[in-house]
Chain A
Amino acid sequence: MNRTKIGFYRGVPILLGAAYLSACGGDGAESGNTADTRTEAPAVADAAQPSPRPLPAIPENYSPIGVFSAPFAEPTIVVDGEVVETDEKCITTEDGLQECKPAAGTMALLPDDRLLYLNALEGTENVELSIVAEFGEVSVNDQTRVLSLGNDDRPDWLKPSPLRGGANPDGNDSETLLGGTPLDGLLDTADNTNRNDGALFCSDVIGLADGSVMAVGGTDYYSEPGIDGLPLGVAELEGIKNSRIFDPTTNTWRQTGDMNFGRWYPSMVTLPDSKIFVASGVTKLLKPVYPEEPINSGRNVVQTETFNPCTGVWTQNPSTADRSLPLYPRLHLLPNGHVLYNAGGQAFNPFGQGYDQALWNIVATFDPASQRWNDIGYAGLPLRLDEVGLGQLASTLNLTNLTEEQLRLFTEDLLSSTDGLISSVTDLLTSPDDSLLTTDTLIKAIGGGMRGSTSSTMLPLKPDENGEYNNVELLTAGGVPSYALLTSPGGYLPTDQSRIDRIETNGDQIGYESRLTGALNQPRWYGTNVVMPDGSVMVFSGGTRDGVVLPGLEGAIMTAERFDPDTETWTEMASGHRPRTYHNTAVLMADGRVMIGGHAPINTAYLSHISLEDFGLAPNDGRDPSFEIYTPPYAMRNDRPTILSAPEQLSVGDSFTIQVDQALDIDKVLLIRRTVMTHLIDGDQRAIELPVKARNGRNLQLEMPGKQSVVPAGQYMLFVSKSTPEGRVPSVSAPIAVVNEAFQCQGDATMAQLDQDMLELLTGASG
């Protein structure tokens, strides 16, 4: 077990935070506020050098709702080979095309606290008429960047190599409908350019155990039908098979093994053995017709695969591991090693859905040992109605509380249920008074079933009285419920409802039950959730309507909300400065603040970019390359506890010691996995409460969970926190690498080299 004393490097974020606060209105050092006169360790975690003067615990500029920083963006654009400094988002080149700064449609927190981000929808700025007619031609592979923060949060950008991930430099072997026939290539533009055959857009990303980031799948754009040279046709977005790995130590992308299936919008999860599981995605977004596999036409990729990071090889799982899932299915690794599908995702194809979409309403688990899926039940049922839940249900069933469209839907449903049908509600509902509810009514009232365009967030895992982690609670708030509508993915109007699904595992046995929490303060489409180090969950960005069904008419929601796990209620917090609807991102940083980015909307009404901002709608005039930093109330305080030293590496079952400066006050320790997310999903998202086993002065003895299924190998952040009247106050984190000692290539160098060797062996590449 390697140890490190948290010195200057780990103190940088706190310095930055302090500097930031200073810039926002004073550091409070001279305020004379003596509410808390204890002399605490200085912000920089060096106990040997105490602060020259005590700071008030709560500075004058403290805000109970937190604060967003001013937006900031990359200052330059490369235009016609020259670097141009500009505040504009885009600059027109000599040939009339727009060159734009990339937006963070995908974002990952690297082990060294820098942020890797990937652009989204690159090229849409050059659509003149219709995105469907032209996107196959004007789109290009998405750029990548690494963002780091220096003193005073001074941002700096680095361009990885290759800049766009490097997939398919010689073109992608597109599976066109007429491929292999004499008409091959005549009615499609699949081979007219290699500039858009390996886009990172719509890939999924995952953090590998060694701290690298793997992007899997993505987009190959072309038109079919379409004719080379004519900007008229019908775009096709083909899911690609590529996998590429970003190495943060060299800032480079390299290619690893291809999947067996092209996937657009797949989801990945790290398994207990550190292999990577991938499910869903679609091979042809617009025209999912596969003459060679007719049974798979009209639906997403049902086959699943497993990636071995040591060999760089994807292996197709047996047919028992097949399952029809929505795009970007919300997947989580359970403590028993199963992968849970939480009946959430995105629905796009064809005509807004797959022909087997009905099955997406079912919560199910995949057992890697047996390679089988097991149906658990209808998402949201059974519902345990406590006081909060009854209140929420009553509120939902109060027709005057609904929007006009929701009112119409509910009215129609209720009127059609006048025969008093009770299908199975008595079996499905755990309620003190369920006599008036039918299953249909209940399902709609709770927004049960498949939920689109929202986060499925794992609440912090907690040990039971035996120190074991067997239960998981997942928070689903907002998004678009099915509403029994045909439209994608079931509705147009988002909900404000919030639900916790509790999954209890006992070996392979799995129990499932839902409960309603307090509702969001407003319905929210496409909000990004972030688990905070105080145990709360915050949601950022998103819109008031589904910006995919009719782009340009989503009103941006810039007010963040915070979910209190103790009261199970949502509270409105500070508001950001920029609208961020589709392809927004949010990532918890090592110092407990949140980096907010993204906004890459689909062109208004699928045409060209038109801003409807004057009408109170989101500005759909292109991507927003800017970032904002959200500082939560706890991060404004001067009395945050400090981790003085902690191990650099841990294994499951380890008993270990950390040194802190406020040992007596610290009552909670949270291990949070570094976020690697896109499109609201991070299949490895998790936080684990570690029990404090013993205390000795500044030393806290902690214990890691005993199973890799609770804490898969990867990069984490360790936070300690204390309770205060204003709420829980966490420290800045210490970096922890959780290793899997049974993994044959554990260790970054070994993994990388084995991967490369195997790839060369398989491809016969000479280097």
Chain B
Amino acid sequence: MQMTKKARTLAEAAVFALLGTALPSTLLAHGAVEVDNAPEHILQASISQPAAIPGLSAVILDAPQPGILVSYRGSSVLTVEDTEGEGLLRFGPEGVMANRSSADWPGLSEARPGMVNSHNKDSSWVKVSATPSFGWLDPRLGVENGEGLWRIPVITDSGAQSEIRGRLTRNPLPKDDHH
């Protein structure tokens, strides 16, 4: 199985956590109240400017690795571009399609080895949702991007272009003194 950079990083981090710390924290499994070597900050994403396209809405999915959920109920087809400017997701009347040839495809939650489009096996586009909504872990919101601004370009088949913009901020981890 080919291992993505992100997966490798995560696996390495997990192995490091196992071997490096030998899990001295008694609370490791149940809430990370006293996790050793925990970062002092977490990165949080927020939306500062929604895309100016009717029918498009987006919310941030809060977690240590932020995600984003996009819903599109517009009349045309909306394409979300990846980090290289290629199409990543396509929101249309039949749901949401994802581009397997996109550089960001491996990061999509639904991206699994062997996943194919039953209707067109030659196409790189596969359906990932039958609804107008889809959520994913976008690398532009990832920890590797650090602090700053992020933007996700979107374009409709009628030619309207826009961006979902936001910022990443480092927020201190909650202390345990309230316990």
Q: Which residues of A contact B (CB under 8 A)?
A: 130-133, 177, 225, 234, 237, 285-289, 293-295, 297-298, 318-320, 322-324, 348-353, 355-362, 367, 370, 372-378, 381, 404-405, 416, 419, 421-424, 427-428, 439-440, 443, 449, 482, 484-488, 490, 492, 508, 510, 546, 548-551, 553, 602, 605-607
Asked if A319 meets B178 with Cβ closer than 8 Å, knowing A289-B18, A351-B17, A372-B130, the reply is: no
Those of B124-167 within 8 Å (CB) of chain A = 127-131, 133-137
Q: Which residues of A contact B62 (CB under 8 A)?
A: 358, 361, 449, 482, 484, 490
Q: Which residues of A contact B18 (CB under 8 A)?
A: 177, 287, 289
Q: Which residues of B contact A427 (CB under 8 A)?
A: 55-57, 71
Q: Which residues of B contact A322 (CB under 8 A)?
A: 110, 112
- Taking the nearest CB of chain B, how far is it from the CB of A582, in angstroms? 10
Q: Which of B1, B42, B61, B178 contacts A295, CB < 8 Å?
A: B1
Asked if A361 meets B69 with Cβ closer than 8 Å, knowing A428-B57, A488-B32, the reply is: yes
B115 contacts partner chain A, Cβ-Cβ < 8 Å = yes
Q: Which residues of B contact A237 (CB under 8 A)?
A: 29
Contact of A549 with B14 in the complex, beta carbons under 8 Å: no
Contact of A356 with B59 in the complex, beta carbons under 8 Å: no
Contact of B67 with A351 in the complex, beta carbons under 8 Å: no
In the bound assembly, the distance between CA atoms of A318 and B44 in angstroms comes to: 34
Those of B28-67 within 8 Å (CB) of chain A = 28-33, 35, 38, 42, 44, 46-50, 55-67
Contact of B47 with A421 in the complex, beta carbons under 8 Å: yes
Contact of A487 with B64 in the complex, beta carbons under 8 Å: no
Those of B1-30 within 8 Å (CB) of chain A = 1, 3-4, 7-8, 10-11, 13-15, 17-18, 22-23, 26-30
- Taking the nearest CB of chain B, how far is it from the CB of A111, in angstroms? 36
Q: Which of A348, A349, A353, A381 contacts B63, CB < 8 Å?
A: A353
Contact of A348 with B127 in the complex, beta carbons under 8 Å: no
Q: Which residues of B contact A (CB under 8 A)?
A: 1, 3-4, 7-8, 10-11, 13-15, 17-18, 22-23, 26-33, 35, 38, 42, 44, 46-50, 55-67, 69, 71, 95-96, 109-110, 112-115, 127-131, 133-137, 169, 173-174, 178-179
Q: Which residues of B contact A490 (CB under 8 A)?
A: 62
- Taking the nearest CB of chain A, how far is it from the CB of B104, in angstroms? 15
- Report the nearest B residue to A439, measured CB to CB: B59
Q: Which residues of B contact A131 (CB under 8 A)?
A: 26
Main SS of chain B's interface residues? Answer: mixed
Contact of B131 with A376 in the complex, beta carbons under 8 Å: yes
- Taking the nearest CB of chain A, how far is it from the CB of B57, in angstroms? 3
Q: Which of A133, A351, A422, A443 contacts B32, CB < 8 Å?
A: A351
In the bound assembly, the distance between CA atoms of A510 and B95 in angstroms comes to: 12
- Taking the nearest CB of chain B, how far is it from the CB of A383, in angstroms? 12
In the bound assembly, the distance between CA atoms of A133 and B127 in angstroms comes to: 47
- Taking the nearest CB of chain A, how far is it from the CB of B175, in angstroms? 10
Q: Which residues of A contact B66 (CB under 8 A)?
A: 358
Contact of A550 with B179 in the complex, beta carbons under 8 Å: yes
Between A285, A323, A375, A553, the greatest number of chain B beta carbons within 10 A of the residue's beta carbon is seen for A375
Q: Which residues of A contact B30 (CB under 8 A)?
A: 348, 352, 488, 548-549, 551, 602, 606
Give me the 5 closest cross-chain CB pairs, A-B, nearest first. A358-B67, A424-B57, A358-B63, A319-B112, A352-B32
- Taking the nearest CB of chain B, how far is it from the CB of A421, in angstroms? 5
- Report the nearest B residue to A444, measured CB to CB: B62
Asked if A486 meets B61 with Cβ closer than 8 Å, knowing A320-B115, A324-B109, A348-B29, the reply is: no
